Amino acid sequence: MCFTQNFWSLLISGLANGFVYALIALGYTLVYGVLQLINFAHSEVFMSGGFAGLFLMDHLVGKGHVPSGLTSVGLVLAGTIVAALAGGLVAYILERVAYRPLRRRHAPQLAYLISAIGMSFFLFSLAGKEFGRDSASVPQTFTNGTVFHVFGAGVQTYYLLVAGAAIIMLVGLDRLIGATRLGQGIRAVAQDADTASLMGVNIDRIIALTFIVGGLLGGAAGFLFGIGNGVVYTMGFTPGIKAFTAAVLGGIGNVRGAVLGGLLLGVCENVPIGCVDTSWRDVIAFGILVLVLLVRPTGILGERLGRSA
Amino acid sequence: MSADALGAVGGRARLPGGLTRAYAIATGTDAKRLYSSLVLGLVLALMTGPAGSVTAPTSGIHHALLAPRVFGFLAFGLVVWLLLTFSGRVGPRLRGVRQRVAAPARAVTAHRTVRWSWYAVLLAALILVPRLLTGAYQQLLVDQIGIYVLLALGLNIVIGFAGLLDLGYIAFFAVGAYTTAYFTGSLPAKPPFEVTPFLCFPLGVLFAMLAGVILGAPTLRLRGDYLAIVTLGFGEIIYDVANNLKQTGGPQGVAKTVPHFVFGDYHWKLANLPYWYLLLGILVAVVIGVSRLENSRTGRAWTAIREDEVAAEASGIPALRYKVMAFAFGASTSGFAGVLFASKNGFFDPGVFTEQISILILVLVIFGGMGSIWGTIVGAAVLQFLPGYFRISGSSVFQPQDIYIYVGFLLIIMMIFRPQGLIPSRRRAREIGMAEAGIGSADALAAPGSAP
Amino acid sequence: MTRKRSLSTVVAVAAVATLALTACGSSKSAKTTTSSSGKTYTIAYQGPLSGGNAQLGLNMVYAVKLAINQANSGTSQFGKLPFTLKYTQQDDQGSATQAPTAAQAIIGNSNVVAVVGPAFSGATKASGALYAQANLATVSPSATAPDLANNGWGNFFRVVADDNAQGPADAQYLAKVVKAKNVYVIDDASAYGSGLASAFKGAAGSNNLTIESETAPGTTQCQAGQGNVQQYDALATKIKSSGAQAVFYAGYYCDFALLTKAVRAAGYQGTLMSDDGSNDPKYISQAGASVAEGALTSCACSVLASSPAAQAFSTQFKALAGFAAGTYSAEAYDSANAIIDVMKKLSSSGDAITRGAIVNGLKSVDFKGLTKEVKFQSNGNIAGTAVYVSKVENGQLVQLGLISDLVKQ
C-alpha cells in the first residue's frame, strides 16, 4: 500500500535526483578511468559550482518578483555555465595541487587519497569561512509548479529543467569521448597510460583536461542541485558519496555506467521513502553501496573507460 | 599562467636573445617554484584573513588579499622559495650534522638499560606532571588527548601495519559507547541484565570486534580504495541508525547519565586524574602489546601484505585472514576507547560519532607517521593538544571555526613534503622511497598487478 | 631528489614554526588590560564556534559582546556600573565530547562569575554536572531539552522556553484556530527538533488531532550533526497524499524554507506551521515571499522588530558583528543582561559579586528583556511561557498574538 501509493511521484523525483548524481558520478568515473584513483575532493567541485551559481543569481535576480519566460531560460543557462566553469577551475586546481606533485614522485596510492581528503577539507572549510556557514537559497529564477501528470504524479518544472540540462550535457560528453581527439586521448590513457605516453600522448595534459571535463559537469550539477535544495558549504559531502556509489553501481570507469548508476540510485533511495521515514534515505543509499561492492564490485556494466565508452 | 602566455609568444615568434633567456628563466624550475611559493603565501593570507559572508562573498578575500598584511605573507612565500632553492648547498652539511649527532644517540638509546631508564622517566613524568595541571588541561589530557591517542594507536594497526584505509573508524567507537550505555541501562531500550560499567569493557570490545569482523570479512576482499568507501558508508550508516532509532535515544542522546566506573569500593567521579591513570595503564598495555605484535609473525604478515599482497599470498600468507585480524584489532581498540569515553563523559549523542571525527583520527595517524607507534602517539598528542590549547587559552589568532582549513592544509603539505609522517617508522620510509623509485607499492591500496 | 625533499621538510617545519610563533606573539599582544573604575569581572560564553553549528554560536557571541560593551560604556539600560566586565569564550562545537573541557576551562578561570550557555542541550548535559560542582551560574539562551531542568543542578537557568511549553501550545492552535484534524509532524532529527516534535505529539490526544509523523534530518547549518543537504521532494509527495490539513515542522528556518518550497511546488495547499527556530525573517527571504505567504511560526517570545529597543539591538548587533542578528541572538543578549542585572543589584546592595551570589541572585531576577520578561522558576526554566504565533503576510512576519488568547476567541 505505502509502496504503491506514491510510487510514481517518488519515481519521478528520484529520477531528477538521479540526474544530478549521474552528473557528479561522471567526474569520479572519468578521473578513475585515467588515474585509477577515487577523487575524494570531487564533492567540493560540486559545492563550488553551487556557490558560483548562487552568487551569479544573487547578482542578476536579487529579491522581489520572479522572472519568467525567456529571462528564466537565460538565467538558468547563465547560472549553469558559470557554475560549470567554476567547477572546472576548482577541478583543475585540485589536479595541480593535490595530484600532480604526487604523481611526479610516484607516491603510493594512499598518499593521493589523503591529499584529496585534505583538499576536500581545506576547500569546504575555506568556503565556509569566506561565504558564511549558513545555508542559503538560490533566488527563484522561474516559477516552479506542476507542468503535466504521469499516472497521477505531477512533474515539476524543476525536474524537467534538471533532466533536460543533464541530458544535454551527457550527450555532449558521450560525443566528446567518442568522437574527438581529446576523447581519444582520454580513452588511450585509460586503457594504458604507458603505451599512450610512448605514442606521444601528453599524459599530464590529458589528465588535467579529464579533471576539467569532470569538473564542468560537477559544477553544473552543483547549480542544478542548489536551485532546489539550497547552497551550503558542506553540501558536497552526501551527494558526493552517493554519486560515488552511483559510479560504482554502474561500473566505475564506465561513462554510460555512471549515468545508469546515478539514475538507479536516485530511484532506489527515493521509492522506499513511501514506506519509511525520510531519515532512512541515506542508510538505504549507503546500504546499496555496501551491497553492490559485496555482490558485484565491478558494477552493472563493468569497469574500464577505454573499452565501453 | 603568465608563463604559459609568455610561452605561447615565445613559441611562435622569434624573439631577441635577451627575451628568450628571460623566457627560459621565467619558465625554469626555480621560477616555477617561486610562483608556487608566492601562491602559498597568498593562500596563507586567505586562510588567516577575516571571514566573509554569503551576502558579501568577496569581502573576506578582499580584506585578506588587498591589505598591507598580504606583503608579509608574500615575503614569507619568498623566504620559503629561498629556502627551497638555496638550501641545496646547506642541506648535505645539515644532514651530515644530523647523522653525526644521530648515530651516537642511536647507539646510546639502543642500549637496553638506557632505553628502559628513558621509558621509566617518561612514565614518571606522565604520572606526576598531570597533577600540576589545571582542571581544563587535565580534562583536555583525558578527553581529547588520551582517548584519541588510544584511537590513533588502534587505527595505526589497520592503516599503518596492514595498509588498509578505514574511513569509518569512529563507528567502532560508537559501538563501544552504545554498548556501555545499553548494558548500564542508560538507553531507552532496556537490557536483559544490567552490569557495572567496568564489565562493559569486555562487552564493548567484543561487540566492536564483531562489528569489525562482520564488516571486514566480506569487504576486505575488495580493492583498497573500495574498502575506504565501504567503511565510509558504514560509518554513515552507524551514525544514521543511532540518530534514527528510538532505542538509542535518537538525536537526544542517551536517556540517563551513564554511570561512572566502580571498582570494588572505589568510585570514579568527575575528577579527571583517576581516569588519566586508568587510561595511562591501558595505553602502556596497548603500546607494549602493539610493539610486540609488530615484530611478531602476524606483524610481519601484515607488512608483507601491505608491501605486495600477491607475493604475500604466493608465499603462503592467508591475506584475507590477516587483514580481517588487523581490522578486528583496530575495531576492538576503538570499542575499548568508546567504553571509557561513555562512562567518563556520562552523556553522549550521535553528534559525537560524525564522519569528521573518523577523518580527524586518520589525520592524527598520518601526521605522526603511519606504522610508527611513537609517531602515532606524538602526532596524536601534538595535534590534539594544539587546538585544545588555542581554545582554552582563548588565542584570537586561530579562529576555532577555521580549524578544518588548517587540518586540510596540513594534510596536503604533508603529502607533498613528508608523506612518511613526523616520526616515520623506518620500514615505512623505506617503502615510500622504494615506491618513488618505482619498485613495489607502499600500501595495500593498489589492485593486484595494476600500476597507479 | 631525496636531498631536495629532505630540505623541503626542513622548510615545511620552519614554516609551521614561524606560524606558531606569530600566533603566540600576537596572542600576547591581543591581551590588553582594560583600565577602568572598580573591579573587573568576566562573563563567559560556551557554545559552538567551530564545526557545523558555528553560525548559531556566532549569533550568540556577538550578542553577549554587545551586552558587555554597552554595560561597560554605560549605554545599557543599567546605566553606569561600578565595575568593568570582560568577555571570554570557550568553543564546545556544540558537541558532548568537547563540552566538558570547555566547561573546565571556564570554571578554572577564577575571574568568571557567570556563563552564558552552554548553547546546546547535549553539551549542557555533558558539562552541567561540572558547573553544578563549581556552583557557577549557567544561563542558556538556547538549550530547550525539557529534562535539563530536572537534574537538580541548582545553577542552571535558561531564558528560552523548553519544548514542553511550545509544542502543546502549537498543537492547540492548529486544532482550535486552524481547525485541523490531521497534522503531519516533521522533525529535523536534531535534539531540539525531535524533542519539540514529541512534545507536540504528546498534546495531540487532548486536542483530537490525528498525527502522522516523520523525521527528515536537516541541513548542516540548522542542526547539530552531519554535513548534508536534505532533499524534500519525496517528503512533499508523502505530505500531499497523506491528506493532512496542516504540517508542523520542528526545526530551523533554512530547512523549513526548503520544505515550504517543496510542498508548495508539489501542490500542497494546507497550513504550514513551525517553531521559534523558524521564527526568523530569513525564512521568508529563503523560501521566497510568495511561497512563504500564510506560513505560521510560533515562539515563546515576541517578534523582535516590534519594539524600538529591539530595533536598536538589531542595528548595534549588525555594526558590531558585521552580519545581521539571527537565531538566538536576542536570547543571548537577554541572558547576558540577566547576569549583569544581578551583578548591578549585588554591587548596589554592597554584597560581594561571587559565583554563588550570582546563582542566588538569578533565582529572583526580574527584568524586562528583549524577548520576554526574564524571570526564572525554581528549576531554572523561564517563568511565564507565553507562546506567540506569527504569520507571513505580504512578505513580513506579522505577530498575530498570544496562542492562549487566540484559542479562546
Nearest CA-CA distance, residue C14 and chain A, Å = 21
Q: Which residue has the cell 561492492?
A: A293
8 Å CB contact between C103 and C122:
no
- Residues A133, A164: Cα–Cα separation, whole Å: 31
List C residues 163-192 in contact with A (Cβ-Cβ < 8 A).
Answer: 189
pLDDT at position B108: 64
Tell me the pLDDT tens digit for each residue of B191-235: 888 888 888 999 999 999 999 998 888 788 876 677 887 888 888
pLDDT score for B89 = 59
**How many angstroms separate the CA atoms of B249 and B436, rounded?**
50
CB A270 within 8 Å of CB A252: no
Q: How far apart are CA A309 and CA A18, in angstroms?
A: 20
Helix (H/G/I), strand (E/B), else coil: A254: coil
pLDDT top residue among A144 and C86: C86
- Does the pLDDT at position C212 exceed 50? yes
The mean pLDDT value for A239-263 works out to: 88
Q: What is the pLDDT of residues A107-119, one digit of tens each?
A: 877 788 888 989 9
Residue C362, burial from CB neighbour count under 10 angstroms (0-12, 13-18, 19+): buried
Smallest CA–CA distance, residue B140 to chain C, in Å, is 6
**∠ CA C282-C285-C291 to the nearest 5 degrees?**
120
Q: How far is C6 from chain A (nearest CA, A)?
A: 14
Bridge partners (DSSP) of residue B61 are none
Best of B252, B385, B432 to mutate (most C CBs within 10 Å, chain C): B252
Listed ranges A288-302, B17-31, B91-105, C91-105; the one with the highest mean pLDDT: C91-105
Can you name the residues that pair with A155 across neighbouring β-strands?
A148
The packing angle between helices B319-345 and B273-294, to 10°, is 170
Distance in angstroms between the alpha carbons of the first and the last residue of chain B: 28
Q: What angle do CA A219, A220, A221 make, to 5 degrees?
A: 90
**pLDDT tens digits for C350-401?**
888 999 999 999 999 998 888 888 899 988 998 877 788 999 998 888 888 8
Q: Which amino acid is at B115?
A: R
Opening angle at CA B97, ends B93 and B102, nearest 5: 145
Query: What are the grid coordinates assigned to C132, written together?
Result: 553544578
Report CB contact under 8 Å: A278, C267: no
Mutate which of C7, C62, C318 to disrupt the B interface (most B C-beta within 10 Å)?
C7
B102 three-state secondary structure: helix
Sign of CA dihedral C118, C120, C121, C123: negative
Q: Scanning every residue of chain C, which has its alpha carbon at the shortest distance from the alpha carbon of A153?
A: C237
- Chain C residues whose beta carbon lies within 8 Å of the beta carbon of residue B349: 96, 122, 191, 224
In angstroms, what separates the C-alpha of C299 from chain B's closest C-alpha? 21
Residues of B in contact with C19 (CB under 8 A): 44
Q: Which residue of A has its CA nearest to B235?
A: A286
Rounded mean pLDDT, B253-260: 87
Alpha-carbon distance A251 to nearest alpha carbon in chain B (angstroms): 12
Rounded to 5 degrees, what are φ and ψ at C376?
Answer: -105, 150
Which residue of A lies nearest to B418 if distances are taken between CA atoms?
Answer: A111
Contact between C187 and C251 (Cβ < 8 Å): yes
Q: CA of C147, closest CA in chain B: separation in Å? A: 9
**Residue B364 pLDDT more than 50?**
yes
Residues 6+ apart with CB under 8 A from C165: C300, C385, C387
CA distance A159 to C276: 32
Nearest to C241 among A5, A63, A124 (CB): A5
The complex's ipTM? Answer: 0.87
Question: For residue C390, what is the enclosing H or E element?
Answer: strand C388-393
Mean pLDDT for all residues in chain A: 87
Beta strand B266-267 with B262-263 is antiparallel
Chain C residue with CA closest to A226: the answer is: C229
pLDDT at B351: 83
Contact assignment for A55 to B234 by CB distance below 8 Å:
no
Q: Which whole-number Å values give the CA distances from B198 to B139, B142, B361, C14, in the listed order? A: 21, 18, 25, 46
Sheet architecture: strand order including C182-187: C210-215, C182-187, C246-250, C271-274, C296-299, C388-393, C396-402
Q: Based on the number of CB atoms within 10 Å of its own CB, is C178 exposed (0-12), middle (13-18) or buried (19 or more)?
A: middle
Sign of CA dihedral B40, B45, B48, B49: negative
Q: Which of A76, A104, A89, A101 is nearest to A214 (CA)?
A: A89
Q: What is the pTM of this model?
A: 0.84
**Confidence band for A268, pLDDT divided at 50, 70 and 90:** very high
A235, A226 contact by CB (below 8 A): yes
**Average pLDDT for residues A97-104, to the nearest whole number?**
88
DSSP state of C189: S
Residue type, B240: D
Among partner residues A139, A144, A279, which is closest to C265 by beta-carbon distance? Answer: A144
Q: Which of C8, C229, C278 to mutate to test the interface with A (most CBs of A within 10 A)?
A: C229
What would the pLDDT profile of B307-327 be if each residue is shown by its tens digit? 888 888 898 889 899 999 999
* pLDDT tens for each residue of C53-65: 777 888 899 999 9
| Interacting residues of B29 by C-beta distance below 8 A, sequence separation 6+ | none
| Dihedrals phi, psi of A136, to nearest 5 degrees | -125, 150
Instruction: Say yes or no for a CB contact (<8 Å) between C105 and B350.
Output: no
CB atoms within 10 A of CB B263: 12
Q: Which of A113, A130, A232 to mutate to test the interface with B (most CBs of B within 10 A)?
A: A130
Give pLDDT, residue C299. 82
- Neighbour count for residue B278 (Cβ, 10 Å): 19
Nearest-angstrom CA–CA distance, B97 and B223? 43
The secondary structure of residue C219, as a DSSP letter, is: P
Pair B375, B423: CB distance under 8 Å:
yes
Give the pLDDT band of residue C20 (cuts 50, 70, 90).
very low
**What is the rounded average pLDDT for all residues in chain C?**
82
The single-letter code of the amino acid at B111 is H
pLDDT, residue B288, reads: 93
Q: Which three cell numbers stand for residue B19?
A: 627575451
User: Which positions 217-276 of B are in contact with C (Cβ < 8 Å)?
Assistant: 236, 239-240, 243-244, 250-253, 257, 270
Interface test with C, best of B178, B246, B401, B436 (most C CBs within 10 A): B401
For C188, phi and psi rounded to 5 degrees? -95, 15
How does DSSP classify residue C184? E
pLDDT > 60? residue B447? no
DSSP assignment letter at A279: G
Yes or no: say if B399 and C48 are a contact pair by the CB < 8 Å rule: no
How are beta strands C388-393 and C296-299 bridged, if at all?
A: antiparallel
By Cβ distance, the residue of B138, B239, B391 closest to C226 is B239
pLDDT of residue A40: 86
The rounded percent of chain A whose pLDDT value lies above 70 is: 96
In this predicted model, what pLDDT tens digit does every residue of A149-206 receive, in sequence order? 888 788 888 899 999 999 999 999 989 988 888 888 888 888 888 888 888 888 899 9
Calculate helix-pair angle for B273-294, B297-307, nearest 10 degrees.
70
Predicted confidence (pLDDT) at residue C342 exceeds the cutoff of 90? yes
Nearest Cα of chain C lies from the Cα of A309 at a distance, in angstroms, of 31
Burial label, B112 (beta-carbon count in 10 A; 0-12, 13-18, 19+): exposed
The yes-or-no verdict on residue C24 having pLDDT over 80 is no
Question: How far, in Å, CA of A197 to CA of C326, rounded?
Answer: 57
| Sequential DSSP letters for C257-308 | HHHHHHHHHTT--SEEEE-TTS-SHHHHHHH-HHHHTT-EEEESS--GGGSH
**Do residues A109 and B445 touch, judged by C-beta distance below 8 A?**
yes
User: What average pLDDT does this structure show over C81-98?
Assistant: 88
Say if residues B190 and B353 touch (Cβ distance below 8 Å). Answer: no
- Cα gap C181→C244, rounded to integer Å: 8
**C130 or B308: which carries more pLDDT confidence?**
C130
What residues in C contact A145, CB-CB < 8 Å? 265, 267
Smallest CA-to-CA distance from B323 within B431, B212, B432 is with: B212
Would you call C242 helix, strand, or coil by DSSP? helix
With bands split at pLDDT 50, 70 and 90, how would you rate the model's confidence at B103?
Answer: low
Q: What are the pLDDT digits (tens) for C254-311?
A: 888 889 988 988 889 999 999 888 887 778 888 888 889 999 998 876 655 567 888 8
Beta-strand pair C246-250/C182-187: parallel
Q: For position A119, what pLDDT does the model report?
A: 93
Question: Is residue B257 classed as helix, strand or coil in its secondary structure?
Answer: coil
